[in-house]
Amino acid sequence: MSEVLPGSLLAGRTVLITGAGRGIGRAVAELAASEGARLVLADAGVDLEGNAPDASVIEELVTSLRARGVSVEGFADDIASAGVVERVVAHAIDRFDRLDVVVHAAALSVDRSVLRTPPELVERVLAVQLGAAFSLVRVAGQAMLDRKEGGSIVLFSGPSAFFGARGHAAMGAAQAGVIALARSAALELRRHRVRVNAVCPTARTRATEALPTFAAIDEASMSPAHVAAVAVFLASSLAEDVHGEAIGVAGSRTYAIRPRETTGAFGPAKPLEPREVRGVWNEALKP
């Protein structure tokens, strides 16, 4: 059996992680296991744009963890397919009698101009990152409410949700939806002691390692392990007072990303004419 050390953050907890087979999701799974969690892992093993599923990706991780004595179940299903979220959540509860934490790290990486991204690929990106996130919040959130012991839901988004990026229109749209979902769900579920937060990682993974930005960066300094630490923190009781945050992680830097409004410009009580808007525009944009 895997040794669960005294003070392990997730001892006795059941943690469901999507996108667990590689990169950040795998780092979260391995860290959660070391903190005593029982795991339900899902990963279809697809390529960056969601093609060529490979069940061996999740099977290899499950085998590795079981060799360490970790209680773990694996699913190679597409988390965005109809009924899969319901089935995986039900299995977690049937197998381990509870579901305490959900970490939705599954996402696609699409680097294409907004003018050259086909509709079917946009739909796929939205389904995996945003649609599945909504289903997980709805289904797992209800399961947590039914047990009346609270829980934590950690959704992965990205900096593109706030700042945009060339070639990331589809991804940014999905990521922005995840932020809105996390903040809205946090407001609704807080009174039930179910916490919902988002993580916006910048890390060296198969999706980013070929980018010029990462070419000169030491792999260890921007590893998925930095992100995993924050995700496990949010999953644990250490973060019991954290609700609706968007937390950025870039190597050793951890920071909050929050929206802000400018003071604004105040015109006359009557509606402005379009030409009059030009006259208050600069004032409206001042911090």
Amino acid identity at 275: R
SS3 of 147-202: the string is HCCCEEEEEECCCHHHHCCCCEHHHHHHHHHHHHHHHHHHHHHHHHCEEEEEEEEE
DSSP 11-41: TT-EEEEESTTSHHHHHHHHHHHHTT-EEEE
Does 183 reside within a domain? yes
CATH code of the domain in which 127 resides: 3.40.50.720
281: in domain? no
Q: Angle, nearest 10°, between helix axes 132-147 and 169-189?
A: 20
Kind of pairing, strands 101-104 and 72-75? unpaired
Sign of the CA dihedral running 51, 249, 174, 102: positive
Range of the domain at 95: 14-261
> Which residues of the chain register pLDDT less than 70?
1-6, 209-216
Establish if 219 belongs to a structural domain: yes
Q: Say if 176 falls within a structural domain.
A: yes
Per the domain annotation, does 267 fall within a domain? no
Do the domain assignments include residue 78?
Answer: yes
Cβ atoms of residues 178 and 19 within 8 Å: no
Question: If you ran DSSP here, which 8-state letter would residue 236 be given?
Answer: S
**Whole-structure pTM over 0.85, yes or no?**
yes
If one counts the domains in the chain, the total is: 1
User: Is position 224 within any domain?
Assistant: yes
